[in-house]
Structure 1
């Protein structure tokens, strides 16, 4: 049961039985306009997530949609690491933009699919320029899945850059400390 339903039930039990039932009947039927008019003291939380026109519901939908996308990207990143074996040590060896290039290649292929309705797996010339590895590793899917792969590869590049920058900062701090001795 969502928070809006719990709040609606809690609100209804603060009233006499008939009035509480009337409120819940309107609420369950989705007649939120009547709920607001007849019971103006009902807390806002009764409507967030239940009333599709409530501003808070729109935020919840965006968060929910974004969460699903992020879960797909994280699942793909985990697949790359644990099933394909592309662990951090291997990623750290790609210092010439290979991960970013692979990410861009999948994103470019998804763009091509969206623009032209192309569902093929052919490595287009504009994409081939971005692809850093053997064609054997090129495994496109539908546009959504290609964007998930692009984001996961972009995430791998971000992770690599962060590790590199942290290592540089640690080395700089160690050198600075040694120089001060």
Structure 2
């Protein structure tokens, strides 16, 4: 699979070719993106053509019957932000293989719990670094929005799962010393 951008013109040509081969009207072809076996239907709102004629597809705008898709997208977008803006690559995450990512996620989830339970609590309370926070206090950056803190927790959980999965893959590749 390549990551070469597809121009809107190329996509239109491909769509017409497929429609002709299937002997259907191109206007009647439903477009969708398949990601890890999940089908994401695309609507006209999903498309945008940039100044170079490259087709940009936004799944955030797509209509989907997948329950929780909007929430899953929020977690993935936050995880990508952590990688891009904070530099928290897989290699960085793999250095935290003793549960630090999981407990950090729990800290953000607990903050959200406290905010939901007591919506009138003072915002300054959120700035108190949790006792179980695994890193320097300056890295404790809660939001005043409970949903946002849950998204941060979810993205940290994704990172923690990635650490476990990569460690398991390495273990499976190593010859057994039995």
Q: Work out whether the TM-score is over 0.5.
A: yes
CA contact (8 A) 1:114 1:143 kept: yes
1:135 to 104, 123, 137: 137
CA RMSD of aligned residues (A): 2.3
Q: 1:11-30 to 2 correspondence within 5 Å?
A: none
TM-score, normalised to structure 2, is: 0.58
- Residues of 1 paired with 2:171 and 2:132: CA distance? 28
- Residues of 1 paired with 2:92 and 2:71: CA distance? 26
In the superposition, relative to structure 1, how do residues 116 and 99 fare at CA in structure 2: closer, same or farther (>3 Å)?
same
The equivalent residue for 1:116 is 118
The equivalent residue for 2:163 is 160
CA contact (8 A) 1:101 1:130 kept: yes
Deviation at residue 137 of structure 1 after TM alignment: 0.7
The equivalent residue for 1:101 is 103
TM-score, normalised to structure 1, is: 0.57
The equivalent residue for 1:73 is 75
Structure of higher CA gyration radius: 1
Q: Which has the higher helix share?
A: 1
Q: Which has the higher strand share?
A: 2
- Residues of 2 paired with 1:87 and 1:69: CA distance? 22
The equivalent residue for 1:149 is 152
- Residues of 2 paired with 1:72 and 1:87: CA distance? 18
Q: Runs of 4+ in structure 1 displaced over 2 angstroms?
A: 60-64, 121-125
Deviation at residue 120 of structure 1 after TM alignment: 1.8
